[in-house]
Amino acid sequence: MINFAIVGYGNLGRACEKIAHDSKDFNLVGIFTRRDPAIMNSPFGTAFYNQSDIEKFKGKIDVLALCTGSANDLTDLGKRCAANFNTVDSFDTHAKMRDYVTEMQQIASANGNLSFIGIGWDPGLFSLMRAMFQGVLKEGNTQTFWGKGVSQGHSEAIRKIKGVVKGIQYTVPKQEALDKARSGQGANLTTRDKHLRECFVVAADDADKADIERQIVTMPNYFDEYDTIVHFITAEEFDRDHRSMPHGGFVLRSGEVNGQHHNLEFSLKLDSNPDFTASVLMAYAKANAKLYAAGERGAKTILDIPAIALTDEDRIDYIAHTL
Amino acid sequence: MINFAIVGYGNLGRACEKIAHDSKDFNLVGIFTRRDPAIMNSPFGTAFYNQSDIEKFKGKIDVLALCTGSANDLTDLGKRCAANFNTVDSFDTHAKMRDYVTEMQQIASANGNLSFIGIGWDPGLFSLMRAMFQGVLKEGNTQTFWGKGVSQGHSEAIRKIKGVVKGIQYTVPKQEALDKARSGQGANLTTRDKHLRECFVVAADDADKADIERQIVTMPNYFDEYDTIVHFITAEEFDRDHRSMPHGGFVLRSGEVNGQHHNLEFSLKLDSNPDFTASVLMAYAKANAKLYAAGERGAKTILDIPAIALTDEDRIDYIAHTL
């Protein structure tokens, strides 16, 4: 049993809690939160603690999953926790990855801990595919497509517009761009070429729908450079059809070896982004405990961790039936 | 530069030779063959040596690619070479994998060498996908489909039938079975349910085509348990349309986390099976030299080797732009 704890109780933290609760591998020590632990409720009766008390649990937690929301919260939390615990996180700000990995490497190594960084599907499985695809097919072009899936940032941007009662945005890969990438014509595709943004909006009764639509499609950074479709729907339709958090995407590589053409493709179709991300995070939480026991220390990404770390089985047995 | 050599000069050995020749990373020391080196010719002027002289090259080869044909040849060769060299091979007899890995592990470790085993796409990339998919999505079902691609064994079986001048067999995944696997209904699919066998045959002028077709579709082990389609074509059509060695396939996993459904899918579409297999083998040959220099010893499969081993770049740089 792995003594396991979670920091943060949003969608990801909740999904990790349920997996830990349903698994025989994890003993869920508790959930750390910045909210008042006294007012927190878990469907599984998990204990809540104040996030500021986490250091008191040093030695009582084998692996800590960092599930707080924003990138800034997570880097600060990660650096603080890596000094005292083994950690897994799904840090996803690509632009800050270099600094975060470098600092976590230093802190985890100096304190004899093991931190897994950027564990999920992108970063995560998609990163692994990009690395493998590039590695085995040197001459070629890799393209990543996201969706169909909900973008929280874009959904929030819509909801801030006056007159919008409810709003959600789906990022949708364009079939034409997927076809181009598969046929080896993807090198010049931009993110805009590859995706369209589809919005579902519930407007207030007295709202000017044409003006809401104009504000969405012209919004700088978020929508103005994309093909954007806005649908106005009723609150009933919204609640019926847009409550889940599906996501997914594609990593494609098209290239040549010895003048012969080859295509590699990985795709995910997820009914629930947080539940799948949690599943990946929990698999690597278990691998963290295994590799820590085997003497590994420092900061590692999915690119550094061999697939064999994901199994409990005897190595040769596993190779014999999986290879 | 990696001092690199190849044993065996069939399709795979030739494809590795071309990649090594075209790459700045490899110094191609030579090709070892059981045929008479004096009668061998390479388009690149590579030196040929007698396979029985290979031990004389101890200390002059950093990595040796084992590209002989049959499974028996390869296990004997592997065990002999692992005592003196670092090796990479694409050993693909699943039923003998346990013994081979165990013996190679013992020999390579005892002699301070590093052997990579089962490197290609199946075993190889497909094995990695099966392991990753199972690892991150514990509850579910994985299905592997092969094709559309040429099966050498089945093609040879056709060519042995009296009256057959030329023949080739393609293994073709059935769309209906792919759809079932994607929708999570794949658990009970058999290899037969998943694939059909499509044969293209050039018959002798005086041959009884109906009898050839009957002999093919009823052939035990090879065809009798499959849906088999036989096309009779002319020698001209055969030479025009069936000279290449395409292959590919799919690894699918469909499963649940916290009651939510998720699909993972990996696919390959290869214009040339030997060229792509060689590309994977050469990428891991380079990784072998890198990991040997870092102190790794023994026998490893694609499940044991982290993706980061496939790059020359500084680790943090690589993580920063790939993760």
The pLDDT assigned to B148 comes to 95
Q: Quick check: B192 pLDDT over 90? A: no
pLDDT exceeds cutoff 80 at A72: no
pLDDT at B218: 95
Q: How close, in Å, is residue B74 to chain A by CA atoms? A: 17
Tell me the chain B residues in contact with residue A132 when contact means C-beta distances shorter than 8 Å: 125, 128, 307, 310
pLDDT band of residue A120 (cuts 50, 70, 90) is very high
- Check A275 against B257: CB less than 8 A apart: yes
pLDDT tens, residue by residue, B39-58: 999 999 999 999 999 999 99
Give me the mean pLDDT over the B53-82 stretch: 92
pLDDT above 90: percentage of residues in chain A: 90
pLDDT at res. B152 = 84
- Cβ-nearest to B307 among A131, A258, A271: A131
Chain B nearest-CA residue for A271: B261
Chain B CB contacts of A137 under 8 Å are 276, 279
pLDDT tens digit sequence for A276-294: 999 999 999 999 999 999 9
Is the CB of A137 less than 8 angstroms away from the CB of B319?
A: no
Closest chain B residue by Cα to residue A253: B268
Long-range pairs for A141-144 at CB < 8 Å and ≥24 separation? A141/A181, A141/A184, A141/A186, A141/A187, A141/A253, A141/A254, A141/A255, A142/A251, A142/A252, A142/A253, A143/A181, A143/A186, A143/A189, A143/A194, A143/A250, A143/A251, A143/A252, A143/A253, A144/A249, A144/A250, A144/A251, A144/A252
pLDDT in tens, A191-235: 889 999 999 999 999 999 999 999 999 999 889 989 999 999 999
Interchain CB distance below 8 Å, A307 and B311: no
Question: Which chain B residue lies closest to A322 (C-alpha atoms)?
Answer: B127
pLDDT at B234 over 80: yes
Contact pairs from chain A to chain B, CB under 8 Å: 206
DSSP per-residue string spanning A193-259: HHEEEEEEEEEPTT--HHHHHHHHHT-TTTTTTSEEEEEE--HHHHHHHS-S--EEEEEEEEEEETT
> Taking all residues of chain B, what is their mean pLDDT, rounded to a whole number?
95
The model's pTM is 0.95
Chain A residues lying within 8 Å of B125, measured CB to CB: 132, 136, 264
Q: Per-residue pLDDT for B71 more than 80? A: no
What is the per-residue pLDDT for B67? 95
How distant is the Cα of A269 from the closest Cα of chain B, in angstroms? 5
ipTM of the complex: 0.94
Q: What is the mean pLDDT of chain A?
A: 95
